[in-house]
C-alpha cells in the first residue's frame, strides 16, 4: 500500500459494468473505489489536505489507483461551526457603525420575484427527475417546472 498527502479537490461517481465506482481527485490524480464507505469517509475532508492510502493495479496499459483510506493531516477543522479562538490582551472597543441592509433584503420588484420563482421551479424539476420513472425528456422537465412555477406563484 502506498500513501500520499494531497488536497482533496473533487468527488464523483460513475457507473461501470462492474458496478458503481466512487472517485476522488487529489493533486490532479484520480483515486477510485467500489466501497462507498471509504468514499463517504473522505467527504468531510473536501478541499483540505489529507493522507490518502491506496494500492495500484495495472490493466490494459493503464494504472489504477485503488482508494484504501483517507485521514486528515494536521489540524483538521470539520465543516460547520468554527471553534472560537480567544484573543490575547484586553478586548478592543467596538466601533459604532451604521447598519446597511444587504441587497437581498431590499423589496423585490414583481419581475424579480417571478424570475426567482421560475429558477426555483426549474431547480426543483431537475431534482425531481432522479425520482421519475418513464418520460425524462426535456419537454417533461419543462412541464414539471411549469407545474412548480404555477404552484409557487399562486
Choose between 113 and 87: higher pLDDT: 113
CA angle 20, 33, 47 (to 5 degrees): 105
pLDDT band of 131, cuts 50, 70, 90: confident
How crowded is the C-beta side of 139, counted as CA atoms within 13 Å? 2
pLDDT bracket for residue 27 (50, 70, 90):
confident
pTM (two decimals): 0.47
Mean pLDDT rounded to a whole number for the chain: 78
The answer, yes or no, to whether residue 127 has pLDDT greater than 70, is yes
Q: Provide the pLDDT for residue 111.
A: 72
Of 36, 20, 29, which Cα lies nearest the Cα of 2? 29
Cβ contact 4:52 at 8 Å = yes
Q: What's the sign of the alpha-carbon dihedral 3, 8, 47, 125?
A: negative
CATH (residue range 2-72): 2.40.50.140
- The domains of the chain are located at 2-72, 107-153
Work out the average pLDDT over 17-45: 86
Q: What is the pLDDT of residues 92-107, one digit of tens each?
A: 555 555 555 555 555 6
Shortest CA distance to 125 belongs to which of 113, 109, 139? 139
What length is written for the chain? 154
Burial 28-65 (b: 16+ CB within 10 A, else e): eeebbbeeeebbeebebbeebebebbbeeeeeeeeeeb
> What is the reported pLDDT for 54?
92
Q: Is the pLDDT of residue 109 over 60?
A: yes
Amino acid at each position: 500500500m502506498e500513501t500520499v498527502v494531497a488536497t482533496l479537490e473533487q468527488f464523483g461517481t460513475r457507473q461501470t459494468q462492474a458496478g458503481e465506482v466512487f472517485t476522488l481527485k487529489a493533486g490532479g490524480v484520480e483515486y477510485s473505489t467500489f466501497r462507498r464507505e471509504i468514499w463517504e469517509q473522505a467527504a468531510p475532508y473536501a478541499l483540505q489536505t489529507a493522507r490518502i492510502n491506496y494500492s495500484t493495479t495495472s490493466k490494459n496499459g493503464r494504472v489504477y489507483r485503488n482508494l484504501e483510506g483517507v485521514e486528515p493531516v494536521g489540524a483538521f477543522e470539520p465543516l460547520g461551526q468554527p471553534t472560537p479562538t480567544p484573543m490575547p490582551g484586553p478586548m478592543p472597543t467596538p466601533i459604532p457603525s451604521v447598519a446597511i441592509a444587504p441587497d437581498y433584503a431590499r423589496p423585490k420588484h414583481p419581475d424579480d420575484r417571478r424570475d426567482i420563482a421560475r429558477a426555483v421551479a426549474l431547480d426543483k424539476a431537475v431534482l425531481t427527475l432522479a425520482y421519475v420513472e418513464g418520460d425524462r425528456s426535456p419537454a417533461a422537465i419543462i412541464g414539471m417546472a411549469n407545474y412548480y412555477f404555477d404552484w409557487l406563484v399562486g
